[in-house]
Amino acid sequence: MAATRDDVARLAGVSSSTVSYAISGRRTISAATRQRVEQAMAELDYTPNAFARGLAGARGGIIALHYPYGRRGVTASEFEYVAAATDRARERGYHLLLWSNPIDDVEGLGSLVSEGLVDGAILMELTADDRRVPVVSRARLPFTNIGRPDDVDGLWFVDADYDALGRLAIDHLAGLGHDHVFFLSQSVRQPERGSGPVGRADSALVASACQRGVRLETHRAENSVPGGRAAAGAFAALAPRPTAVVAFNETALAGFVQTVAATGLSIPGDVSVVALSIGDLAAEMTSPPLTTVSPPGGEIAATAVDHLVDRLEGRRHDAPHVLVAPQLVVRGSSAPPTRP
Amino acid sequence: MAATRDDVARLAGVSSSTVSYAISGRRTISAATRQRVEQAMAELDYTPNAFARGLAGARGGIIALHYPYGRRGVTASEFEYVAAATDRARERGYHLLLWSNPIDDVEGLGSLVSEGLVDGAILMELTADDRRVPVVSRARLPFTNIGRPDDVDGLWFVDADYDALGRLAIDHLAGLGHDHVFFLSQSVRQPERGSGPVGRADSALVASACQRGVRLETHRAENSVPGGRAAAGAFAALAPRPTAVVAFNETALAGFVQTVAATGLSIPGDVSVVALSIGDLAAEMTSPPLTTVSPPGGEIAATAVDHLVDRLEGRRHDAPHVLVAPQLVVRGSSAPPTRP
DNA sequence: CTGAAAGCGCTTACAG
DNA sequence: CTGAAAGCGCTTACAG
């Protein structure tokens, strides 16, 4: 059916190993020979067989992106990560395999790894004490991470700069004149508390608020629409009522905004709202649209791919720790407080 | 490093081919032998090498999901499709490879296909006259489709039932008493017009409106927030003004809703809104939340995976054409018209 | 600068 | 019911 390396060799009048070397560039080839090989390949419309290449010991050209199964909804638009990773992988000559299994199904991940299918992996949504890390390390599979573990030593990772995320939000509001802010946060599971995205944004918010002389009321809501409605109730009951809200809880924010509007409070007249880590579409659905501070998911994913490929190809050995700056997009939901 | 099939054979005291057959089940094995082989595999923590399996002619265990590069934003939440496909593939024992290249980069797809890496492929977001179809067909790679082409003959596909999508929306509004509806549609490119999702929803809307005695005003907006603002202007200028809106344009809908709210019209008091193919989060961001009719992306993708795997494993040969019914979720944005 | 050959770890006729 | 062996299409020392 499809042409093999031998067909190419025959047509070019060289040995098959010469064809291999012409492709890989791992030994010097005379210009004339290379010429003929290339012509033969073009003529036969030759594509090397991926399995044979992988079996024979070269890189298979596949990397895996692993995300924990059943832990959806953490990032605004996961597809942004996946799409960006796929594109960058292709640009660098790799295929992107999607892996997903329950976060503590260590065996499942283990057998994926030992199948030998992939040259390396990217672990998404890394938690503080992620059980995937030892599994992949032990198998000696090169990997990079999206997210930051507690023990960062020797690990390659790229993460959103959650400190900056919190700081940008507070600075924006304080700059507008707000000095009393409601933080619509999320309930986090034990292992993550203190070191996951929420914990880090939380600390940054507290620190920035303190520095700016802003009073901060933290409310941990369920990640659900009703959770947001309850939070709106808690917010409304506060006296004095904060003049602004920072939200790091997509789903609850929806319920919160609905309830606030139904209560007759206006945004940003009565409350300014800044949403963290929310997608553009969701931000544009409210009236007025929401001011946001979000990490650039595409850039984060593409960087993680670059690191992994650099590592696989021996161009880099330094276990980089990269924090990517989030971006503030001012829309209509934030304004100076209207107060005597 | 990792155990090979020979290691297992040695430990179990059988030949290596017996181990293979024990795994594949392609010939009868005595219970005792199977027993010993399984024990040996467990003891050695054996995982078959994927490349060797693929090279030797068996199925490689990888399927590809191909989506057109740079054509984002058509579906509400693409990640739903990708995640569901990944999960179902894993359940059925396959890896999911993500492929994406520009829709008319036929060569790129062609070389992917001829690499021999995947057992089959799923083509996402199929257009009426999709150029990928002949490429994959010619390579004799088994494939199934998400979306419906014009020429359906011999093709395996699963698609949202866009006729039902339009019908459900009109029936819901007509049932509430609306008889004059604004259709916020999208501008479509030439090759898709008339046969893509938009064209199909469009026809269904027209037909249902006619049957129900509903007057329908179609407006094709740019797929952008400003496009939606402009549409809101066109809507407001209508006399008499329709009492309801059906939107099949996520991004424009955001601008539309913002503008309508800013104009002082209330939802659903002055206008009812039904959004087609929009994600739950976006639907919950507005006040009140939006009534939606959306295709179940996860189910569609999982079904496409099932069909492909069934086809690969020879369980099915009938080129099924499946249309999946969308679901109406009534939220606060639709109500009877308030009119004398 | 190039060729002949071993080997990667499987699957699958071919024998028995 | 099981074994010995060819072969899948590459890569990479080993020779020259």
End-to-end CA distance of chain B: 81
**Range with the lowest mean pLDDT among A192-206, A293-307, B165-179?**
A192-206
For chain A, percent of residues with pLDDT exceeding 70: 95
Same domain for A167 and A147, yes or no, is no
CB atoms within 10 A of CB A184: 28
Same domain for B206 and B274, yes or no, is yes
Q: Which pLDDT score is estimated for B280?
A: 87
Does residue B82 sit at the A interface (CB-CB below 8 Å)?
yes
Look over chain B and give the mean of its residue pLDDT values, rounded to a whole number: 89
B213: phi > 0 → left, psi -120 to 50 → alpha, else beta; which? left
Does residue A87 sit at the B interface (CB-CB below 8 Å)?
yes
Interatomic CA distance for residues A275 and A22, integer angstroms: 54
Same domain for B178 and B244, yes or no, is yes
Query: Which chain C positions have some atom within 7 A of a protein CB?
Result: 1-5, 7-13
Classify residue A230: in a domain, yes or no. yes
Classify residue A53: in a domain, yes or no. no
Does residue A42 sit at the B interface (CB-CB below 8 Å)?
no
Classify residue B235: in a domain, yes or no. yes
Q: Which nucleotide, over all strands, has the C1' atom closest to the CA of A21? A: D11
Classify residue A337: in a domain, yes or no. no
Region B154-172: mean pLDDT is 94
Residue pair A249/B219 in contact by the 8 Å Cβ criterion = no
Q: What is the pLDDT of residues A172-187, one digit of tens each?
A: 999 999 999 999 998 8
Enumerate long-range contacts of B190-195, CB under 8 Å, 24 or more apart: B191/B127, B191/B128, B191/B129, B192/B127, B192/B128, B194/B128, B195/B128, B195/B148, B195/B150
Q: HSE (CB half, 13 Å, CA atoms) of B121? A: 25
At residue B109, does pLDDT exceed 70?
A: yes
CA–C1' span, A89 to D15, in Å? 39
Question: For A111, which residue in chain B has the nearest alpha carbon?
Answer: B47
B281: distance to nearest CA of chain A, Å?
7
**Token pair recorded at residue A147:** 């997210």
Domain enclosing residue A118, as ranges? 62-160+298-325
Q: What is the pLDDT of residues B234-243, one digit of tens each?
A: 999 999 999 9
pLDDT band at B253 (very low <50, low <70, confident <90, very high): very high
Same domain for B200 and B305, yes or no, is no
Same domain for A87 and A30, yes or no, is no
B115 contact residues in A (CB cutoff 8 A): 47-50
Region B31-45: mean pLDDT is 89
At residue B340, does pLDDT exceed 50?
A: no
Same domain for A280 and A190, yes or no, is yes
B129: distance to nearest CA of chain A, Å?
24
Greater confidence, A211 or B80? Answer: A211
What's the distance, CA A175 to chain centroid? 29
Residue pair B169/B272 in contact by the 8 Å Cβ criterion = no
Q: Which of B47, B90, B281 sits opposite A101 (nearest CB)?
A: B90
Contact, A26 CB vs strand D, < 7 Å: yes
Single residue among A276, A295, A314 that ends a domain in this structure = A295
pLDDT band at B189 (very low <50, low <70, confident <90, very high): low
Contact, A50 CB vs strand D, < 7 Å: no
Contact, A33 CB vs strand D, < 7 Å: no
Q: Do B287 and A261 touch (CB under 8 A)?
A: yes
Classify residue B180: in a domain, yes or no. yes
B72 contact residues in A (CB cutoff 8 A): 83
Q: What is the pLDDT of residues A24-50, one digit of tens each?
A: 888 888 888 898 899 998 888 888 888
DSSP B99-135: EEEETT-HHHHHHHHHTT--SEEEE-S--TT-THHHH
Nearest to B53 by CA among B95, B20, B11, B14: B20
At residue B22, does pLDDT exceed 50?
A: yes
At residue A73, does pLDDT exceed 60?
A: no
**Token pair recorded at residue B108:** 């790129």
Q: Which pLDDT score is estimated for A75?
A: 47
Same domain for B269 and B221, yes or no, is yes
Q: Which pLDDT score is estimated for A69?
A: 77
For chain A, percent of residues with pLDDT exceeding 90: 51
Residue pair B86/A100 in contact by the 8 Å Cβ criterion = yes
Residue pair B231/B253 in contact by the 8 Å Cβ criterion = no
pLDDT band at B73 (very low <50, low <70, confident <90, very high): very low
Same domain for B285 and B168, yes or no, is yes
pLDDT band at B157 (very low <50, low <70, confident <90, very high): very high
Look over chain A and give the mean of its residue pLDDT values, rounded to a whole number: 89
At residue B192, does pLDDT exceed 60?
A: no
Same domain for A166 and A289, yes or no, is yes
Q: What is the pLDDT of residues A102-140, one digit of tens each?
A: 777 777 788 788 888 899 999 998 888 888 899 898 888
Does residue A141 sit at the B interface (CB-CB below 8 Å)?
no
What is the number of structural domains in chain B?
3
Q: What is the pLDDT of residues B289-338, one digit of tens each?
A: 999 999 998 999 999 999 999 999 888 999 999 999 999 999 999 999 98
pLDDT band at B74 (very low <50, low <70, confident <90, very high): very low
Question: For A93, which residue in chain B has the nearest alpha carbon?
Answer: B112
A332: distance to nearest CA of chain B, Å?
10
Region A49-61: mean pLDDT is 85
CA–C1' span, B34 to D2, in Å? 12
Q: Which pLDDT score is estimated for B72?
A: 52
CA–C1' span, A228 to C2, in Å? 72
CATH number of residue B122's parent domain: 3.40.50.2300
At residue B195, does pLDDT exceed 70?
A: no
Region B282-291: mean pLDDT is 92
Classify residue B78: in a domain, yes or no. yes
Q: Which pLDDT score is estimated for A193?
A: 56
At residue A190, does pLDDT exceed 60?
A: no
CA–C1' span, A107 to C15, in Å? 40
Does residue A289 sit at the B interface (CB-CB below 8 Å)?
yes
Pick among B1, B281, B329, B333 to test the A interface (most A CBs inside 10 A): B281
Classify residue A52: in a domain, yes or no. no
Helix ranges (DSSP H) in chain B: 5-12, 16-24, 31-44, 50-55, 78-91, 106-114, 132-138, 162-176, 197-212, 225-237, 250-262, 280-285, 297-312
Query: Model-level pTM?
Result: 0.90
Greater confidence, B144 or A263? Answer: B144
Does residue B155 sit at the A interface (CB-CB below 8 Å)?
no
Same domain for A211 and A289, yes or no, is yes
Same domain for A210 and A166, yes or no, is yes
**Range with the lowest mean pLDDT among A63-77, A123-137, B120-134?**
A63-77
Question: For A290, which residue in chain B has the nearest alpha carbon?
Answer: B285
Q: Which nucleotide, over all strands, has the C1' atom closest to the CA of B9? A: D3
pLDDT band at B191 (very low <50, low <70, confident <90, very high): low
CATH number of residue B27's parent domain: 1.10.260.40
Q: Which of A72, A98, A258 sits opposite B98 (nearest CB)?
A: A98
Q: Which pLDDT score is estimated for B211?
A: 94
Contact, A52 CB vs strand D, < 7 Å: yes
Q: What is the pLDDT of residues B172-188, one digit of tens each?
A: 999 999 999 999 998 87
Question: For A45, which residue in chain B has the nearest alpha carbon?
Answer: B111
Q: In what order do the strands lie in the sheet with B95-102?
A: A321-324, A157-160, A143-146, A120-123, A62-69, A95-102, B95-102, B62-69, B120-123, B143-146, B157-160, B321-324
Q: Which pLDDT score is estimated for A204?
A: 92
Interatomic CA distance for residues B323 and B167, integer angstroms: 14
Classify residue B314: in a domain, yes or no. yes
Q: What is the pLDDT of residues A221-267, one digit of tens each?
A: 998 999 999 999 999 999 999 999 999 998 899 999 999 988 889 99
Same domain for A288 and A169, yes or no, is yes
A79 contact residues in B (CB cutoff 8 A): 77-79, 82
Q: Which pLDDT score is estimated for A340?
A: 46
At residue B1, does pLDDT exceed 70?
A: no
